[in-house]
Chain A
Amino acid sequence: MGFVALDGVGKVFRGRTGAWEAVRDFTLSLDEGEFFCLLGTSGCGKTTVLNMLAGFEAPTSGRIMLDGRPVSGPGADRGVVFQGHDSLYDWLTALDNIAFGLRLRGTPKAERRATAERFLKMVGLAGQGAKHPSELSGGMKQRIQIARALANDPRILLMDEPFGALDAMTRAVLQGELSRIWAETRKTVLFITHDLEEAVALATRIGVMKRGPGGTLKAVVPVDLPFPRDRTSDGFMRVFREVHALIHEEIHGAH
Chain B
Amino acid sequence: MLTSRAATIAGYVAGFALLFLVWHLASVFLVRSVLFPSPWPVFERAWVLIEDSILQEQILASMRRILQGFLLGSLIGIPIGLAIGSFRPVRLLLEPWTEFFRFIPAVAMITVAVIWFGIGEESKVFLIAYTTVFVVIISTAAGVGAVGRDKIRAAQSMGASQLQIFALVALPATVPYILTGMRVAMANAFVTIVAAELVASNDGLGKMLWDARLFMQIEDIFVALISLGLLGFATDRVFRLLIRAFAGRFNPTM
Closest CB in chain B relative to A140 CB, distance in Å: 15
List, in ascending order, chain B residues with CB within 8 A of A87's CB: 148, 150-151, 153-154
Q: Does B159 contact A90, Cβ atoms closer than 8 Å?
A: no
The proximity string for B residues 158-198 relative to A, scoring 1 for CB distances below 8 Å and 0 otherwise, is 11110010001100110100000000000000000000000
A55 touches B157 (CB 8 A): yes
Judge if A41 is at the interface, Cβ distance under 8 Å.
Answer: no
Q: B residues within 8 A CB of A104?
A: 155, 158-161, 164, 168
For A132, the chain B residues whose CB sits under 8 A away are 249-250
B161: chain A residues at CB < 8 Å are 104
Residues on A with beta carbons closer than 8 Å to the beta carbon of B175: 91
Residue of B nearest to A103 (CB): B168
| Interface presence of A56 (CB below 8 A) | yes
Known: A89-B151, A91-B173. A74 touches B157 (CB 8 A): yes
- Asked if B153 contacts A56 (CB within 8 A), the reply is yes
Q: B153 to A100, Cβ gap below 8 A?
A: no
- Return chain B residues, CB-CB under 8 Å to A10: none
Chain A, residue nearest B160 (CB): A104
Neighbour of A76 across the interface among B151, B158, B173, CB < 8 A: B158
Interface size range of chain B in the complex: 20 to 34
Contacts of A86 in B (CB 8 A): 148, 150-151
Structural contact, B169 and A89, CB atoms closer than 8 A: yes
Would you call A162 an interface residue if the criterion is a C-beta within 8 Å of the partner chain's C-beta atoms?
A: no
Contact B252 A134 (CB under 8 A): yes
Inter-chain CA distance A242–B148, complex, in Å, is: 39
Asked whether any CB of chain B lies closer than 8 Å to the CB of A40, the reply is no
Q: Which residues of A lie under 8 Å from residue B157 when comparing CB positions?
A: 54-55, 74-76, 78-80, 149, 154, 158
Chain B residues, CB < 8 A from A56: 153, 156
Q: Does B242 contact A (CB under 8 A)?
A: no
Q: Interface digits, B232-254 against A, CB 8 Å rule (1 contact, 0 not)?
A: 00000000000000010111100
Least CB distance, B57 to chain A, in whole angstroms: 41
A54 — which chain B residues lie within 8 A by C-beta?
153, 157
The CA of A14 and the CA of B100, in the complex, are separated in Å by 34
Is A105 an interface position by the 8 A CB rule?
A: yes
B154 contacts A82, C-beta separation under 8 Å: yes
Q: Are A91 and B151 in contact (CB under 8 A)?
A: no
CB of B248 to closest CB in A, whole Å: 9
* Known A54-B153, A91-B172: A76·B159 in contact at CB below 8 Å: yes
Is the C-beta of A84 less than 8 angstroms from some C-beta in chain B? yes
**B167 to nearest A CB, angstroms?**
11
- Whether A215 sits at the interface, judged by CB under 8 Å, is no
- Complex interface: chain A residues within 8 A of B159 (CB): 75-76, 101, 104-105, 152
**How far does the alpha carbon of A79 sit from the alpha carbon of B154 in the complex, in Å?**
8
Q: Which residues of B contact A55 (CB under 8 A)?
A: 156-157
Chain A 103-115 per-residue mask, 1 if CB under 8 angstroms from chain B, else 0: 1110000000000
> Within 8 Å CB of B247, what residues of A?
91
**Would you list 28 pairs from A and B whose C-beta atoms are within 8 A, ordered by A residue?**
A55-B156, A56-B156, A74-B153, A74-B156, A75-B156, A75-B157, A76-B158, A79-B157, A79-B158, A80-B154, A82-B150, A82-B153, A84-B150, A86-B151, A87-B148, A87-B150, A87-B154, A89-B169, A90-B250, A91-B172, A91-B175, A91-B250, A100-B158, A101-B158, A104-B155, A105-B159, A134-B249, A152-B159
Q: Which 4 A-B pairs have the closest CB atoms?
A: A90-B250, A76-B159, A101-B158, A87-B150
Beyond A75-B157, A84-B150, 5 extra complex contacts between A and B, CB < 8 Å? A55-B157, A56-B156, A74-B156, A88-B151, A135-B249
Which residues from chain A sit less than 8 Å from chain B, CB to CB? 54-56, 73-76, 78-80, 82, 84, 86-91, 100-101, 103-105, 132-135, 148-149, 152, 154, 158
